[in-house]
């Protein structure tokens, strides 16, 4: 069975698909919500404009889009199910993404937390595509779609090309892409690689933050020229702490940009670690499932502990005397380099994912009696020792999470449940405890290193804030005191 519709005065009938309604129309194709009858599922059916079907260049590009996208299976990229032609009609059946486009969200206004979630999602999708050898070349708000859980998905690989291709553009002497988000090398019709997509991501990031494209002119040619000749746009003063991210994406020379999407995501974590806005933004970041992540319950009585399928406890839980208490309050995090983690609103600790063997299984525990039979909960022997061990284990888990997983998280905030809080709690019980003193030293060094980096980049206000955070850990650290004094002087005008 097929459905016949009228598109631009041409009857279109595609066997195996029942078209439900139009979703949108562009210069090259129209998109419909349809049912794929063989599997009885809703899909987005992209149909090439009939006037272009006679042009072999456009039909080849259309078919290429489907073949490229079909190779790129990733949560932040649209999935293609089928591609083909029927008579003079060329079509592509893809995953239906019902949550609208980024263009609509920009028009409605985005918070910083939402913006960071979205750009990191897109960066993940780009990183995967680039690893597979493809550059998108048209990253723009209209090509970013949203799943119902809020995950951003990159669509439309219609002008993508293999990164080992020698030509700079599909048609000789022309550049392909959207001028508002076009990299300098793309505007010059030069050969491009994945860093061109990251430049486009930066231009889009700037617009998400400010509501305006980075360069504006009366015609597209002038806009493209401005990407080549004009300096990197500056964010408003209240957003200046995010300027290093914009600069790392929109550097005019590709070698000066972030090398990969993954490198950009790491820089986002480092920026949050060095900013006073971090704790508020982290609390606001969207609670949704992500690639490599797991939605965590917000319940105060249910926590997740990561256990190896073999039944072994994570190493960070083994030495705890009061294990029953800790297990009842611990949260295992699906924190990986390639993904993001949604924080539970209460205390958490980091369970490292095993580097070898079977992936961990999430086991939900609510009471000590819910523990698996192989897990023996030891009885408290010495309350003082148990309290110290508990505090140190909790502190070290938070420290590892904040230094190596999500930079800056759980180091100082919240004040009553952070790495610094638990280290000081251990020192209150046992002054001079070496593990606690070493942990505080590592956290101090983290803030000192970030503050130095910010001062070197002449981001004086951010340097001041970061140095102040470090002094909350070690108020007598001379290097931080000197750095703060210099940064404050520079922030006042030298």
Of 246, 263, 283, the residue that ends a domain is 283
Of 65, 95, 125, the residue that ends a domain is 95
Q: Which of 38-52, 76-90, 213-227, 355-369 is least confident?
A: 355-369
Q: Is 82 a domain residue?
A: yes
Of 254, 283, 312, the residue that ends a domain is 283
**CA R_g for the chain:** 26
Domain count, the chain: 2
Q: Is 274 a domain residue?
A: yes
**DSSP state letters, 239-267:** GGGGHHHHHHHH-SSGGGS-SSHHHHHHH
Q: Which of 30-34, 401-405, 439-443 is least confident?
A: 401-405
Q: Is 251 a domain residue?
A: yes
Section 221-246 average pLDDT? 92
Q: Is 494 a domain residue?
A: no
Please indicate whether residue 91 or residue 245 has the higher confidence score (pLDDT): 245
Q: Is 366 a domain residue?
A: no
Q: Residues with catalytic annotation?
A: 138
Site of tokens 């606001």 = 284
Q: Is 448 a domain residue?
A: no
Rounded to two decimals, the pTM is 0.55
Same domain, 87 and 111: no
CA gap 250, 140 in Å, rounded = 14
The answer to whether 2 and 16 are in contact (CB under 8 A) is: yes
* Segment 68-115, tens digit of pLDDT: 777 788 999 988 888 888 888 888 898 999 999 999 999 999 999 999
Distances (CA, A) of 259 to 129, 195, 265, 329, 386: 14, 7, 11, 39, 46
Domain around 25:
2-95
Strand partners, 176: none
Task: Pick the most confident of 80-89, 413-422, 470-479.
Answer: 470-479
Q: Is 114 a domain residue?
A: yes
Structure tokens at 3: 């459905």
The answer to whether 435 and 441 are in contact (CB under 8 A) is: no
């Amino acid at each position: 069975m097929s459905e016949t519709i009228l598109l631009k005065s041409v009857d279109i009938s595609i066997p195996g698909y029942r078209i439900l309604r139009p979703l949108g129309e562009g210069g090259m194709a129209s998109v419909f919500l349809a049912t794929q009858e063989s599997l009885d599922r809703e899909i987005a059916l992209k149909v090439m404009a009939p006037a272009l079907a006679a042009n072999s260049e456009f039909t080849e590009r259309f078919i290429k889009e489907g073949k490229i996208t079909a190779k790129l299976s990733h949560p932040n990229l649209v999935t293609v199910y089928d591609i083909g032609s029927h008579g003079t009609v060329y079509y592509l059946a893809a995953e239906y993404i019902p949550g609208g486009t980024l263009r609509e969200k920009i028009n409605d206004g985005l918070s910083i937390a939402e913006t960071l979630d979205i750009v990191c999602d897109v960066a993940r999708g780009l990183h995967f595509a680039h690893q597979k050898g493809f550059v998108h070349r048209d990253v723009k708000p209209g090509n970013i779609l949203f799943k119902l859980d809020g995950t951003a998905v990159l669509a439309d690989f219609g002008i993508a090309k293999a990164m080992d291709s020698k030509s700079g553009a599909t048609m000789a002497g022309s550049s392909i892409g959207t001028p508002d988000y076009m990299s300098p090398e793309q505007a010059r019709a030069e050969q491009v690689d994945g860093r061109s997509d990251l430049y486009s991501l930066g231009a889009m990031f700037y617009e998400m933050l400010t509501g305006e494209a980075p360069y504006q002119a009366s015609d597209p040619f002038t806009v493209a020229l401005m990407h080549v000749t004009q300096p990197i746009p500056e964010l408003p003063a209240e957003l200046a702490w995010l300027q290093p991210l914009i600069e790392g994406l929109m550097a005019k020379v590709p070698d000066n940009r972030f090398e990969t999407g993954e490198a950009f995501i790491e820089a986002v974590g480092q920026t949050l670690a060095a900013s006073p806005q971090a704790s508020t933004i982290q609390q606001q970041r969207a609670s949704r499932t992500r690639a490599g992540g797991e939605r965590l319950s917000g319940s105060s009585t249910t926590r997740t502990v990561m256990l190896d399928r073999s039944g072994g406890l994570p190493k960070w839980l083994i030495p705890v005397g009061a294990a029953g208490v800790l297990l009842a309050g611990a949260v295992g995090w699906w924190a990986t380099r390639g993904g993001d983690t949604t924080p539970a609103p209460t205390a958490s600790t980091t369970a490292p994912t095993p580097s070898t063997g079977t992936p961990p299984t999430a086991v939900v525990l609510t009471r000590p009696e819910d523990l698996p039979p192989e897990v023996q909960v030891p009885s408290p022997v010495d309350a003082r020792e148990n309290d110290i061990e508990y505090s140190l284990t909790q502190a070290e888990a938070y420290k590892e999470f904040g230094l190596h997983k999500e930079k800056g998280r759980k180091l100082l905030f919240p004040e009553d449940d952070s790495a610094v809080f638990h280290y000081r709690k251990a020192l209150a019980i046992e002054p001079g405890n070496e593990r606690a003193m070493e942990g505080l030293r590592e956290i101090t060094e983290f803030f000192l290193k970030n503050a130095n980096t910010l001062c070197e980049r002449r981001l004086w206000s951010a340097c001041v804030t970061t140095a102040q955070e470090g002094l909350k850990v070690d108020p007598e650290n001379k290097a931080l005191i000197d750095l703060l004094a210099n940064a404050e002087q520079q922030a006042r005008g030298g």
